[in-house]
Amino acid sequence: MDHIFLREVRANTLIGWYDWERTALQPVVLDLQIGLPSRTASASDDLIDTIDYDKVVQRLRASLLEQQFLLLEALAEHIARLLLTEFKAPWVSVAVTKPGILQDVGQVGVHIERSQSAV
Ligand SMILES: Nc1nc2c(c(=O)[nH]1)N=C([C@H](O)[C@@H](O)CO)CN2
């Protein structure tokens, strides 16, 4: 399946298992692969035939500002569902990381894959 990828998308949200973590917005970093419905855009060369990655980033950033999460797992699920339902992606891969949250750990995060059968 053809897909769009977005790497190291920075966004802010209220997230954390501990109450003190959810007193202020925290940065999260998203790595996304978004399956494309068909190969029509590669033939038509028309933005209307694909998923507009600019709109995806804007929508995700706005949505994450409105939501709050306890776990990265729930954040990843929220993003996957938004891409499947609002952007009609047939399949998505969503990786989310919290930069700098654990001492002496390069990166920590969650990676999920979902398809239309999950909505
Ligand atoms: N599997 C997970 N483990 C933990 C998470 C999480 O989101 N998923 N979160 C935390 C805390 O919020 C952490 O980021 C700071 O201590 C701990 N474990």
Domain of 10, CATH number, reads 3.30.1130.10
Burial 4-36 (b: 16+ CB within 10 A, else e): beeeebebebbbbeeeeebeeebebbbbbbbbb
Active-site positions? 98
CA 33 to CA 109: how far, in whole Å?
Answer: 16
- Cα atoms in the 13 Å half-sphere on the side-chain side of 55: 10
Residues 6+ apart with CB under 8 A from 47: 41
| pLDDT at site 25 | 98
**Structural domain for 20, as ranges:** 3-118
Please report the pLDDT score of residue 119 as a whole number. Answer: 87
How many A from CA of 18 to the centre of ligand 1?
9
Confirm or reject: Cβ of 109 under 6 Å from ligand 1.
Answer: no
The pLDDT of residue 8 is 98
Mean pLDDT of 25-47: 92
Of ligand 1's atoms, which has the minimum distance to the CA of residue 70?
7
Q: What tens digit of pLDDT does each residue of 37-93 get? A: 877 898 999 999 999 999 999 999 999 999 999 999 999 999 999 999 999 999 999
Is ligand 1 within 6 A of the CB of residue 21? yes
AA letter at 60? L
118 pLDDT tier (thresholds 50, 70, 90): confident
